[in-house]
Amino acid sequence: MMIFNHYKGNFLVKLWFIVAILFPFDASLLLPFSVLGTAISVNRILLILALVVTSFKIIQNQKIKVVNLGTEPVFMILIVFSFLSISWNNDKAGAIQAFTFLIISYILFYLGIYIKTKNLEYRLAYTILLISLMFASLDAILGFRLQISTQSEFKNEIISLFFNPAFFGATMVLLLPFIIQRTLTSKKIKLVFNVFINILVIYFVFRTGSKGIVVSLTLVYLIFIFHFTKKRTYFIKVIISCVIITVLTIFLLEKDYLPREIELKLYEISDIFSGEVWESADSSFGSRNMVWKVGIEKFQENPLLGHGFGSSYSVIYEEVLNSKVLAFHNWWIQILVETGILGSLLFVFLYSKSIVTNLIANHENRIIYLSILVSFIPISLTVGNVLQLWTWWMLFGITFVKFKGGS
């Protein structure tokens, strides 16, 4: 609260900043309202109140205008279409819950647009990263973990404040481009501080054991490498070399090209270094692959309109009941199954428009936003439900803000 009192800004900005601070504490958001026996946390209540009050403030404040009139209405069309799809959705409860997630995602999307107009995106990135890394360090060193994230199946993974390791890793990677940019422009003590944050993010991402998140991490550094090839970016080159070596090591382990002693040592760091977790049918990847195939089959049953927003769980439940994975972990197949070709095209338009906007832009931060947008692709194939990944929707809104000239 000291940060909140110190920061000068209007009521909406302060409420938004509360959301930015609180949301890492509960990435799952409304989960306790749908899962029997799960307690409702104080952080979740405060967060929902902040979102509700903020949304009303947005409506009342006439000074806040739509930044990109060519894209936000498309989001509204997606919301309306999702609401109408409840009528042909057999899982009404799932539809209502998913629609609630979508509304909150839209609020966060709009807040991302607003926060960019106030130039607070770096404050957002550092606030969330530092809080999350602090609790991740407590998790790693002392074994201390908040109750909201003590799920038995993830007890051996670093998940910090988040619902599961994938959400934690995805949040780290999505915010990392801001830190990399500051690392390239800072000097002396600030440079050391930012390098340290980079190292912590890389370490904890690998500790989560999430393969898709590691791929996203690699993509982020590769984009910065290619962008700054003509500048002195020794630090970035060293980091990306480490990531490439790590990926190569995973490949060698999978092919049994490395000595068993080395393999065991690496496996002690993270199970991501085990080739078995990539290929086994009983692994999470093997289970997800099966779910994706079922999803494609279900999509073909109603390709134009889909089975209804929020129907994915009920649609695939019987076919994947014995699987380790009961969610798609693939945003693109999920929206295909739920909203069909029509709804999928709406989201693809939003995503593509943001990429094009930043490709043709002429401002120093465009490399940050392009990194975020590209890294989202493997992330969208990793997390259980993108609608619960709050970081993405706020950053997605930030990437929509248009710039003039070199600003």
Which of these, 324, 319, 329, 280, lies nearest to 297 by C-alpha position? 319
Residue 267 scores a pLDDT above 50: yes
Query: Which of the pair, 406 or 322, is modelled with greater confidence?
Result: 322
296-318 pLDDT per residue, tens: 888 888 888 888 888 877 777 66
Angle 350-338-394 from CA coordinates, rounded to 5°: 35
According to the 3-state scheme, what is the secondary structure of 277-346? HHHCCCCHHHHHHHHHHHHHHHHHHCCCCCCCCCCHHHHHCCCCCCCCCCCCCCHHHHHHHHHHHHHHHH
Query: Which of the pair, 52 or 63, is modelled with greater confidence?
Result: 52
Residue 154: Cβ within 10 Å count: 19
* Cα separation, 291 vs 286, whole angstroms: 9
Angle 19-175-7 from CA coordinates, rounded to 5°: 40
Query: Which of the pair, 199 or 63, is modelled with greater confidence?
Result: 199
* Cα separation, 170 vs 390, whole angstroms: 10
Q: What are phi and psi of 166, to 5 degrees?
A: -65, -40
Residue 278 scores a pLDDT above 50: no
Q: What is the mean pLDDT of the chain?
A: 73
Q: What number is the average pLDDT over the span 116-125? A: 84
The answer to whether residue 370 sits within a structural domain is yes
The answer to whether residue 171 sits within a structural domain is yes
Please tell me the predicted confidence (pLDDT) of residue 178.
Answer: 95
Which of these, 173, 202, 198, 205, lies nearest to 375 by C-alpha position? 173
Query: In the chain, pLDDT over 70 holds for what percent of residues?
Result: 58
Q: What is the domain range of residue 116?
A: 2-398
Token reading at 85: 């799809």
Type of residue found at 179:
I
Token reading at 215: 């791929």
Please tell me the predicted confidence (pLDDT) of residue 162.
Answer: 67
The answer to whether residue 405 sits within a structural domain is no
The answer to whether residue 51 sits within a structural domain is yes
Q: How far is CA 128 from the centre of its chain?
A: 13
The answer to whether residue 41 sits within a structural domain is yes
Residue 77 scores a pLDDT above 70: yes
CA-atom Rg of the chain in angstroms: 21
Residues 331, 381 contacting (CB under 8 angstroms): yes
Quickly tell me which residue has 């670093």 as its tokens. 158
The answer to whether residue 406 sits within a structural domain is no
Query: Which of the pair, 132 or 231, is modelled with greater confidence?
Result: 132
Token reading at 26: 């509960």
Please tell me the predicted confidence (pLDDT) of residue 176.
Answer: 94
Q: Is the pTM of this model over 0.85?
A: no
Residue 156: Cβ within 10 Å count: 10
Give 325's pLDDT tier (boundaries 50, 70, 90).
low
Please tell me the predicted confidence (pLDDT) of residue 163.
Answer: 64
Type of residue found at 387:
L
Please tell me the predicted confidence (pLDDT) of residue 4.
Answer: 39
Residue 228: Cβ within 10 Å count: 15
- The secondary structure element, H or E, covering residue 194 is helix 188-208
The answer to whether residue 349 sits within a structural domain is yes
1-16 pLDDT per residue, tens: 333 344 455 666 666 6
Q: What domain count does the chain have?
A: 1
Give 396's pLDDT tier (boundaries 50, 70, 90).
very high
Q: What is the DSSP string of 50-105?
A: HHHHHHHHHHH-TT---S-TTTHHHHHHHHHHHHHGGGG-S-HHHHHHHHHHHHHH
Q: What number is the average pLDDT over the span 89-99? A: 82
Please tell me the predicted confidence (pLDDT) of residue 186.
Answer: 83
* Cα separation, 261 vs 259, whole angstroms: 5
* Cα separation, 263 vs 273, whole angstroms: 8
The answer to whether residue 93 sits within a structural domain is yes
Token reading at 335: 């929206």
Q: What is the DSSP string of 124-146?
A: HHHHHHHHHHHHHHHHHHH----
162-185 pLDDT per residue, tens: 667 888 889 999 999 999 999 888
